[in-house]
Each structure stands twice: as structure tokens, then as C-alpha cells.
């Protein structure tokens, strides 16, 4: 069976004049290695081909890419600007032909550092909401920590609520008969999402940021840590933490929002933790308004669109 590392090497070798994102490589893998991926296709965890592509794209990054580079020096990545691009670099006498490009890479890094200083984490919130609403189909609300009551004193709400929350409706296109049937059962026709946003993830803040997302998302069906800039050296750490705790990672592309990508898919929690929901509702007015609208939708199937995605 062909391993992911071999797939990376072979695919880049066969397309030496092209650059690919992790998602584009994943789509190629499905075409090139149908037998190797047949068992993975049958995994009930991947309900659609899109779910499988997202997972394969996540598997391409981190340690597998580093292993491919160690095995084959022709395998190369361009990390800036994001999203990361994978390509086949030509060697001559064990020397890279594109060594002269190093100065350009340094310029890009300098520009990125400059851009980092020009925006704040709060600037990312409307961008993320736009991406989630238009590309993922979620109904989003911003949760402002300044609107919390802090009834438990200083530090009582530490890591209590995320930056963005969202409602996903599952009953689009259902008949009224089916909707009424589901409302009368224990099944749910919506899912709740949680997003913790960080400007940058690097070695100094990755674990703290990840566990903040773990802490403030225990109530949700899906939880994500979102960043605009990701140090490639922490991808393996994120893969390990996500495997343990189920929180996914989303890379937000500021220049082209719809080139944003889920680097690591979140693991679904089938049950909403309503005790945690109640705890946050008691403290934060924005979250209370969010749950109020979720309740209205659950009972009536109606959405007041003017109250969402802002």
C-alpha cells in the first residue's frame, strides 16, 4: 500500500512544473490512488467526499511533509504567503537551482512581519464570519467578552467563551412532515460550532492557545482554533493535540478569504453540553442572545437573518 509520504513524493515528481495546496494534492490522491484509499472512503466518519478531502489535506502537512523532504530533497514547500504550496524543485549536482530565490523569501518574511503589526485579532472576526457564512453556510455571532457580567470575580470567566459561535442548520430542503417528525424526537436538526481566534500560532503560544480553545468549546458539536499565520514548526504539535482533544485548526487567508482552509478537521461531539451552555448564558449577553435564537430555530424552524453574521 502506498503511504501518504510516498503519495506526496510521487505526485509532485509527476507534476514538476506545478505548485499545489494541500487540498489540491488531496484531490489528486483520490484520482491517483483509488485502491489505497478505498478503505478510508468506507470509514463512516467521512460522510461526504468533501470530508475525506479535508482529512487527507490535514494528513499531508506536519510530519508527513517533513518525512517526504528527508526522503527526497526535491520535495519543497513555499510557506509564505499562505496557504502553503507544495512543489518539485530541480536539483543539479545536489544543489538547488533556485538558490537565488532566497533573498526573495527573506523579503516575503519581512513583509509578513510588517503586515502582522498592521492588524489585530479583532480585525479577523468579520473576515472569519464572512468566510464561515458564505463558504461554509453557518450562521454566526460574535461573542464580546466585555459584555460578560463577571459575577464570579476576577478570573472567574477565564477561558469561558470563544470569539465566534455559529449555528449550522441541517434541515435545508426537508419537507415539513420530516421537520415535524424530527422535532418530536430526540434527534437534532442543527449543530453548534465554536471558534477561538488567534492572530498567530507559533512555538511560544500554540499550547496555551489550543487549550484555551479546548476550555471554551466543551459545549459545542464542533470546535476550531483559527489563525491568520501559522508557524510550520508547530503543525506536528497541533496534529497531536487535535488527535487527543478533537479541536480542529482553520487557517484564515486574509488576502483571499475563500482560499482559507481547514488544516485539521474537528472531531464531532454528538451531544451538546447544555450545563456548559447554561454557565456561559448566565455570564454573557451575546451568548445568551445566540442561544435564544438557536431555541427559536429549534422550536419554529425560523431564522431572523438580520440577527446573524455580524
Residue 284 DSSP label = B
CB 55 within 8 A of CB 265: yes
Segments making up each domain of the chain, as ranges: 4-91, 121-307
Neighbours of 201 (CB within 10 A): 24
Q: Which three cell numbers stand for residue 230?
A: 501559522
For the domain bounded by 4-91, which CATH number is listed? Answer: 1.10.10
Q: Which three cell numbers stand for residue 217?
A: 468549546
Predicted local confidence at residue 268, as pLDDT: 93
Neighbours of 271 (CB within 10 A): 8
Q: Which three cell numbers stand for residue 106?
A: 527573506
pTM reported for the whole predicted model: 0.64
Query: Mind listing the pLDDT tens digit for each residue in 82-126?
Result: 678 999 998 755 544 444 444 333 333 444 444 455 678 888 999
Q: Which three cell numbers stand for residue 153?
A: 470575580
Rounded mean pLDDT, 169-181: 76
Provide the terminal-to-terminal Cα distance of the chain, rounded to the nearest Å.
48
| Most confidently predicted of 38-47, 170-179, 196-205 | 196-205
Rounded mean pLDDT, 288-309: 89
Distances (CA, A) of 142 to 21, 280, 287, 308: 30, 14, 8, 9
Distances (CA, A) of 63 to 207, 233, 240, 294: 18, 10, 10, 40
Amino acid at each position: 500500500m502506498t503511504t501518504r509520504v510516498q503519495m506526496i513524493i510521487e505526485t509532485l515528481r509527476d507534476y514538476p512544473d506545478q505548485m499545489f495546496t494541500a487540498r489540491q494534492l488531496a484531490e489528486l490522491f483520490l484520482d491517483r490512488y483509488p485502491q489505497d484509499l478505498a478503505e478510508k472512503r468506507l470509514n463512516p466518519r467521512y460522510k461526504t467526499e468533501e470530508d475525506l478531502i479535508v482529512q487527507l489535506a490535514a494528513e499531508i502537512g506536519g510530519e508527513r511533509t517533513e518525512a517526504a523532504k528527508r526522503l527526497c530533497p526535491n520535495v519543497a514547500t513555499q510557506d509564505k504567503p499562505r496557504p502553503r504550496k507544495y512543489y518539485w524543485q530541480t536539483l543539479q549536482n545536489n544543489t538547488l537551482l533556485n538558490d537565488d530565490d532566497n533573498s526573495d523569501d527573506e523579503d516575503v518574511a519581512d513583509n509578513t512581519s510588517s503586515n502582522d503589526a498592521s492588524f489585530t485579532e479583532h480585525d479577523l472576526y468579520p473576515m472569519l464570519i464572512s468566510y464561515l457564512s458564505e463558504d461554509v453556510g453557518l450562521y454566526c455571532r460574535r461573542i464580546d467578552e466585555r459584555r460578560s457580567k463577571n459575577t464570579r470575580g476576577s478570573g472567574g470567566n477565564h477561558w469561558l467563551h470563544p470569539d465566534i459561535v455559529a449555528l449550522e442548520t441541517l434541515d435545508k430542503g426537508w419537507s415539513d412532515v420530516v421537520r415535524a417528525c424530527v422535532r418530536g424526537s430526540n434527534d437534532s436538526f442543527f449543530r453548534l460550532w465554536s471558534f477561538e481566534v488567534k492572530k498567530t500560532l507559533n512555538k511560544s503560544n500554540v499550547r496555551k492557545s489550543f487549550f484555551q480553545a479546548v476550555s471554551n468549546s466543551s459545549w459545542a458539536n464542533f470546535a476550531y482554533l483559527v489563525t491568520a499565520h501559522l508557524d510550520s514548526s508547530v503543525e506536528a504539535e497541533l496534529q497531536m493535540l487535535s488527535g487527543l482533544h478533537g479541536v480542529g485548526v482553520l487557517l484564515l487567508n486574509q488576502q483571499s478569504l475563500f482560499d482559507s482552509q481547514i488544516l485539521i478537521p474537528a472531531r464531532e461531539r454528538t451531544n451538546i453540553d447544555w450545563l456548559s451552555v447554561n454557565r456561559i448564558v448566565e455570564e454573557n449577553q451575546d451568548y445568551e442572545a445566540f442561544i435564544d435564537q438557536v431555541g427559536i430555530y429549534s422550536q419554529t424552524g425560523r431564522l431572523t437573518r438580520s440577527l446573524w453574521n455580524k
